[in-house]
Structure 1
Amino acid sequence: MKKSKEIQKKRINKFPAARIKRIMQSDEEIGKVSTSAPIVLGKAIELFMKDIIMSSVEISKKNKSSKITMKELENLISEVPKFDFLNILINK
């Protein structure tokens, strides 16, 4: 019974696939969306969020801050090359 609960925890998506599918289909250029696409995209979003949050935590610890503020996120985006594509969000 313990193993089945662990397996179920691993399969739970943090982001609802139905909502992701609805967002994907809101674009007129996208036709049909397979069943697995929103699930995979949800997992990708989850991993991206985890990466950006963990990197932000490291920066806030380095700055001896107890909170992740917008300033830490801006520093992260400008300092870490893999987040360069987010520069358009902070340069508004």
Structure 2
Amino acid sequence: MSEENGSEVFGKIKTHFPPAKIKKIMQTDEDIGKVSQATPVITGRSLEFFIAMLVNRSGHVAKDMGCRRISGDVMKKTIMSDEKFDFLRELVCGEHAKPEPEEEDEEE
């Protein structure tokens, strides 16, 4: 997704995550003290952008697969194929998400 396409999708988002709820969730963690006023807003916007990017990429994968809907399998394939979502692999696939061993160059 290009920056232009990302901002276009982000501009279409009509609902936003409520900062008060985000702040409340953040403060449930004992390690977090005071939260600045901008932090929940930035966190909510980041979450919105992340979800928009995941759905957009999943739409492209679904189109490539010949599907008309984004299903769990399409989301899983998107997460497994895109490096930006590699942190979700273990959560989505469990033990099967272990990355393939990389070839190490032997230095002599």
TM-score computed with the length of structure 1 as normaliser: 0.84
List runs of 5+ in structure 1 lacking aligned partners. Answer: 1-8
List runs of 5+ in structure 2 lacking aligned partners. Answer: 1-10, 95-108
2:26 aligned with 1:30: no
**Residue among 81, 84, 87 paired with 1:85:** 87
Q: What amino acid sits opposite 2:39 in the alignment?
A: A
Count of residue pairs the alignment pairs up: 83
Aligned pairs (5 A) from 1:11-90:
14-90=16-92
Q: Deviations over 1:8-61 (max 9, x none)?
A: x89x76100000000000100000001110000000001001100000000001
CA shift for structure 1 position 64: 1.1
Give the structure 1 partner of residue 106 of structure 2. none
Instruction: Give the alignment's Cα RMSD to 1 decimal.
Output: 1.8
TM-score computed with the length of structure 2 as normaliser: 0.72
CA shift for structure 1 position 88: 1.4
Pick the structure with more helix per residue: 1
Q: What amino acid sits opposite 1:22 in the alignment?
A: K
Q: What amino acid sits opposite 1:26 in the alignment?
A: T
